[in-house]
Structure 1
Amino acid sequence: MRILNICAYTWAIGGPARIIYDHTTEVISRGHQVDILSPMTPGEKMYPAPEGARVIPCARTTPWSNIYREFSIEMYQYLKKHVHEYDVVHMHGIWHFGSLAPFLIPNNAIKVITIHGLLDKWAVAHSKWKKQLVTALYQKKLLGKADLIQINNTDEEQDVIRYLGYRPKNMVIVPNGMKLSDYVNLPAKGTFRAKHGIGADQKLILFMGRLNIKKGLDLLLPAFQKVHEQLPEAILILAGPDDGYQAETENFIKENNLGARIKLVGMLTDTHKREALSDADMFVLPSYSEGFSIAVLEAMTSKVPALVSDRVGFGDYIRRYDAAYLTPLTPDGVAEGLLKILQDENYAKDIANRAYNMVTENFDIKVVANQLLEEYKKIKKST
């Protein structure tokens, strides 16, 4: 099969780019061809192309793309010329032009949409008027026309049913996966701490994600302030690009004199990310809304004990395995969980081990990539 993924394939987009990278690597190893069509803004850093795949950048059309996400005349022109060459067009996310364009041009490709958590209540409530407009114009109709809707979990299943008012026959649960081998041999301990002046005896709390309100930073920051009162040597590392909440974060740090205890280190990639995971005492992501958090899976695969909300995309698995501290979405709840992991070594070790088992038994990319390929094939046979 020849497969086209449509996604803003950049470092800034976070998890979806990593998911596409790992899935594409597996799909190519099985003899299929994959292209990635990516709307880009000048200056954005593209995620690396998987070996054997082709990334096709197309310019976002401004100022329209500021109003309608990822609007790109170049994308439309590429699809008009080449869409007939693909067996599968896989759109990642909704609410943007990339999830509409393939339906505007007559073609026989299998059309797949991965929701990526964008229909949960929190996500739908933000930029609400735009989403109501898109819903009224076409979004519900397109989901009904898609050959396959990929969702990651039962929570997302309920989100889709609530949005459409019915359960579509074309919906299937296929979780995202992890390339486990990338986290088997982490860098030597102490490297990240040495780079950032963090002592070996200091408790290092690691947050990895875009600096966006939906990641629960409005809960994490005051929670860490409470932790600091009991563990004054604790350090909070915020690793991620600004996505609308960096100014508020910096103001909080300044107003509470936490400049020596909360460090913004920007986005960490590749070796730098693994160095941070090697040195972290715990990982934290009290998110309000996630499609399927690859950052949490990376921490769990690295055997770092985690505090997360049940909105990270696989809360049902976490409950089943008791694989993390599932926090209430309040500053006090987050603070209580942080202290539990940092002060109870046996508990921290136990949840880390259970989390590792959860990932290896359910989210190996080799297994889940094959599941999605099989869904493609079923549709192809029936058409």
Structure 2
Amino acid sequence: MKILQIVPSISLVYGGPSQMVLGLSSALAKAGVEITIATTNSNGDVGQAPLDVPLGVPVAQNGYEIYYFRCSPFRRYKFSIELLQWLHKNAKAYDLAHIHALFSPVSSCSAAIARSQQLPYILRPLGTLDPADLQKKRQLKRLYAAVLERPNLAGAAAIHFTSEQEAKTSERFNTVTRDVVLPLGVSLPLSASNSIHEKYGIPTNKPILLFMSRIDPKKGLDLLLPALENLDSDFHFVLAGGNPQDPSYEATIRDRIQQSQLKDKTSIVGFVTGSEKTALLEAADLFILPSYYENFGIAVAEAMSVGTPVVISDQVHIWQDIERSRSGWIAQCNVESLTQALKEALANRVEQIQRGKNAQIFAQQNYSWDGIAQQVIKTYQDLI
């Protein structure tokens, strides 16, 4: 079975949604599937150098191969004519394409080419079909959907959602689709925990509350910061993440913290990856993500995998898994509810530890790439 994964970029700066393609591809290759990734060398907006990788030739990695193609000068859109030309020429060499991201020009055009070449394809929306997300640039997205995404959805062999709630709430633009629900997996490097506290000025004698995600309005920082200010108990807050596509919002959040009572109890550490990311997740007593909408929440699953209990909103679409497994606390998307959830989580250290253990067991059983790969393979076989 020869499967083509198409994703606009796999650069670390674009976070979990792009990186999951690497974890999935490695697990599929380990299970005997022949995997090729087609992507661009995009590495952020203009002003940041593209990825330093060979272009247009296969690069072997973890049992699969990657083709990188030159990104257009408008790097924000992660578009590549060369990728589309290669796909038009080589589509018939594959049994199925798994295309990641909607409302992204290279993914949208890839689906159209796959259809013209009679290559069956799966679309993974990455939350872009959520009604709340569709409200951003609403008129432009309506036009884009009418021209590209509606026929792409109608012609897809399946739509890949990562949770039942994402599938339930997503827009289909009046098309009839075959939906498959397949969760994302977790793959973290070993920790560098011996240096993390000193490097980032994180105390060892206070509960550590960690936010680690893209610094974006949808992530609920406008709820989290006032909720933290409402807490009576002592703690240290760690803000990890960045946003290369909207640095002004990131600057706004930094200024908000510097001008508040959180200033002296916060470490702003920026974008963190690799062993240091793992170390921060392990060091945290609570992981917090009060998003307004989140189709899965890979960072939540990563925190759970190292035994850190989570406090999330009920718009993170795996919240029911967290509630059923008692792996954390669930809040509504308002300051009062989030404040109450944080107070409850901080009030009982024994319960924190137990929910952390529950979280780790649940993640091992449900967010293992090897197990997910078997589900994906069955889906591929059924569709082919």
The answer (yes or no) to whether the contact 1:10–1:44 under 8 Å persists in 2 is no
CA 109–275 in structure 1, closer or farther in 2 if over 3 Å, else same: same
1:186 Cα deviation (Å)? 4.7
User: 1:73 & 1:34 partners in 2: Cα distance?
Assistant: 22
Aligned to 1:43: 49
Instruction: Report which stretch shifted further, 355-364 or 92-101.
Output: 355-364
Amino acid paired to 1:361: Q
User: 2:60 & 2:182 partners in 1: Cα distance?
Assistant: 23
Q: Please give the TM-score of this superposition, normalised by the length of structure 1.
A: 0.88
The 3-state SS of whatever aligns with 2:264 is coil
1:278 Cα deviation (Å)? 2.1
Aligned to 1:231: 233
Q: How big is each residue's C-alpha offset from its partner over 1:59-78, in whole Å with a ceiling of 9 and x where there is no partner?
A: 33234x65xx3332222222
CA 332–46 in structure 1, closer or farther in 2 if over 3 Å, else same: farther
Does 1:352 find its partner at 2:356?
yes
Amino acid paired to 1:260: D
Aligned to 1:291: 295
1:259 Cα deviation (Å)? 3.0
Pick from 235, 259, 264 the counterpart of residue 260 of structure 1: 264
The answer (yes or no) to whether the contact 1:89–1:109 under 8 Å persists in 2 is yes
The answer (yes or no) to whether the contact 1:305–1:348 under 8 Å persists in 2 is yes
1:369 Cα deviation (Å)? 0.9
CA 156–55 in structure 1, closer or farther in 2 if over 3 Å, else same: same
The answer (yes or no) to whether the contact 1:303–1:352 under 8 Å persists in 2 is yes
Does 1:329 find its partner at 2:339?
no
1:54 Cα deviation (Å)? 2.3
Q: How big is each residue's C-alpha offset from its partner over 1:135-180, in whole Å with a ceiling of 9 and x where there is no partner?
A: 22131221110112111222122223x4334652x2111212224x
Aligned to 2:314: 310
Aligned to 2:4: 4
The 3-state SS of whatever aligns with 1:237 is strand
User: 2:253 & 2:51 partners in 1: Cα distance?
Assistant: 24
User: 1:216 & 1:291 partners in 2: Cα distance?
Assistant: 14
Does 1:209 find its partner at 2:247?
no
Does 1:109 find its partner at 2:111?
no
User: 1:296 & 1:123 partners in 2: Cα distance?
Assistant: 20
User: 1:166 & 1:178 partners in 2: Cα distance?
Assistant: 32
Instruction: Report which stretch shifted further, 52-61 or 145-154.
Output: 52-61
The answer (yes or no) to whether the contact 1:24–1:50 under 8 Å persists in 2 is no
Pick from 337, 340, 365 the counterpart of residue 369 of structure 2: 365
Pick from 58, 62, 69 the counterpart of residue 69 of structure 2: 58
Amino acid paired to 1:3: I
User: 2:218 & 2:255 partners in 1: Cα distance?
Assistant: 18
User: 2:264 & 2:255 partners in 1: Cα distance?
Assistant: 14
The 3-state SS of whatever aligns with 2:91 is helix
Does 1:16 find its partner at 2:54?
no
Instruction: Report which stretch shifted further, 128-137 or 38-47.
Output: 38-47
The answer (yes or no) to whether the contact 2:154–2:176 under 8 Å persists in 1 is no
Amino acid paired to 2:49: G
Q: How big is each residue's C-alpha offset from its partner over 1:268-324, in whole Å with a ceiling of 9 and x where there is no partner?
A: 112101111221111111111222211111111111111011222312322322322
CA 55–259 in structure 1, closer or farther in 2 if over 3 Å, else same: farther
The 3-state SS of whatever aligns with 2:17 is helix
User: 1:44 & 1:209 partners in 2: Cα distance?
Assistant: 22
CA 34–43 in structure 1, closer or farther in 2 if over 3 Å, else same: same
User: 1:332 & 1:44 partners in 2: Cα distance?
Assistant: 43
Instruction: Report which stretch shifted further, 243-252 or 207-216.
Output: 243-252
Aligned-CA RMSD value: 2.3
The 3-state SS of whatever aligns with 2:211 is strand
The answer (yes or no) to whether the contact 2:96–2:121 under 8 Å persists in 1 is yes
CA 315–278 in structure 1, closer or farther in 2 if over 3 Å, else same: closer
Aligned to 1:163: 172
Aligned to 2:198: 194
Pick from 104, 127, 130 the counterpart of residue 96 of structure 1: 104
Where structure 1 has 5 or more consecutive residues not aligned to the other structure, the ranges are: none
Aligned to 1:30: 31
The 3-state SS of whatever aligns with 2:230 is helix
The answer (yes or no) to whether the contact 2:191–2:276 under 8 Å persists in 1 is no
The answer (yes or no) to whether the contact 1:84–1:107 under 8 Å persists in 2 is yes
The 3-state SS of whatever aligns with 2:79 is coil
The 3-state SS of whatever aligns with 2:315 is coil
1:50 Cα deviation (Å)? 4.2
The 3-state SS of whatever aligns with 2:364 is helix
Aligned to 1:137: 147
The 3-state SS of whatever aligns with 1:207 is strand
The answer (yes or no) to whether the contact 1:280–1:304 under 8 Å persists in 2 is yes
1:326 Cα deviation (Å)? 0.7
1:209 Cα deviation (Å)? 0.7
